[in-house]
Amino acid sequence: MRKSRGMNTMINDGENGASRSMTGKTRSCINETAQLRTASASSPSDTTQNAGFSSALAATPEAASSVALSSSLKHISVARELALDIIEGRWESSQSFTLEDIQHRFDVSRTVAREVTRLLSDVGAIKVRRRKGINPQPTSMWTALNPVVIEWMLHSSKRSEELRALTELRLAVEPIAAAKAAEHAPVEIKSRMPVLAREMRKAGESGDLDDFHAMDIEFHSLLLKYSGNDLFAALSDIVATILRGRVEIGLYPQRPEPEALAAHEEVAEGIWRSDPSVAREGMRRIVDEVDEAISQFI
């Protein structure tokens, strides 16, 4: 196949828990994506730039381990950039690339380039054909419920459409999941929910948003995981990605609304008291508030 010569000019401007078909390797990437976003820009290439740097790494195992981790995660950063090129139309379906193209553009090894194509292929973003190269696929063919894909979409020009679709999914699922958690969650989970709700109120009212967001993710993940419905449980990573992404793109208030805090307490009380109707109504209020906030953004 003739190697594409238009790559640089075109682009340089620029868990099984989430899906039953998601590979273990892809699922393991999800929790590392947020910290990689800031680290990958300065992470070293596969070839050490100078001997002094090599000597320093040899003398400090902790530094060597950190650099090795950064290198091993490089493919996530590269895959994300290529995915955004597809979403934004910078990489058109008619253009084929090769592993060598990826190596040269991002200054990575062939091993990293293969990992990039594997990740993109796993979520349906590209099609790799022997002797024909690598071609992007329409986003309609991507695995929409893969948290990696959701993260990419939320950080693209398609975020409004993505937020709308994700909020509609939450409206359909989470009130029922909360009601089911009130029926099926084990007692240790039921007792955890009111504690979480109280801690969330304390953190929210004091402005400790990092702790608040971490507990908010735990709150919603627990009620999905312990709803007694395996399909709802499989959405826990997705909802965590939605909540995390909403914070990252600046669509979360600096202080949680009092109504939202009260609604979380209502859900927690319903689950603790094994009252499905109370839990369902509280969750409906939470997601309705999210829907209103997203509607104002869109």
pLDDT of residue 247: 87
pLDDT of residue 294: 80
Show the 3-state SS of 15-29.
CCCCCCCCCHHHHHH
Cα distance between residue 177 and residue 297, in whole Å:
26
3-state secondary structure of 133: strand
| Residue closest to 39 by CA, chosen among 80, 13, 67, 81 | 67
Condensed to tens digits (0 to 9), the pLDDT of residues 175-226 reads: 999 999 999 999 999 999 999 999 999 999 999 999 999 999 999 999 999 9
- Would you kindly state where each structural domain of the chain is located, as residue ranges? 7-147, 158-297
Q: Contact 77/115 with Cβ under 8 angstroms?
A: no
Looking at domain 158-297, its CATH superfamily turns out to be GntR ligand-binding domain-like (1.20.120.530)
3-state secondary structure of 128: strand
In degrees, rounded to 5, the angle at the alpha carbon of residue 128 between the alpha carbons of residues 126 and 133 is 110
Condensed to tens digits (0 to 9), the pLDDT of residues 71-126 reads: 568 999 999 999 999 999 999 988 999 999 999 999 999 999 999 999 999 999 99
Condensed to tens digits (0 to 9), the pLDDT of residues 124-166 reads: 999 998 888 999 999 999 999 999 999 999 999 999 899 999 9
Q: Contact 240/228 with Cβ under 8 angstroms?
A: no
**6, pLDDT greater than 80:** no
CATH class of the domain defined by 7-147? mainly alpha
pLDDT of residue 71: 55
Exposed e or buried b per residue across 28-40, where buried means at least 16 C-beta atoms within 10 angstroms of its C-beta:
ebbeebeebeebb
Condensed to tens digits (0 to 9), the pLDDT of residues 234-287 reads: 999 999 999 998 888 887 777 888 999 999 999 999 999 999 999 999 999 999
Phi, psi for residue 7 in degrees, rounded to 5: -60, -50
pLDDT of residue 130: 85
Higher pLDDT, 64 or 75: 75
Per-chain mean pLDDT for the chain? 81
What number is the average pLDDT over the span 28-52? Answer: 39
Cα distance between residue 145 and residue 150, in whole Å:
7
Q: Using alpha carbons only, how large is the chain's radius of gyration in Å? A: 22
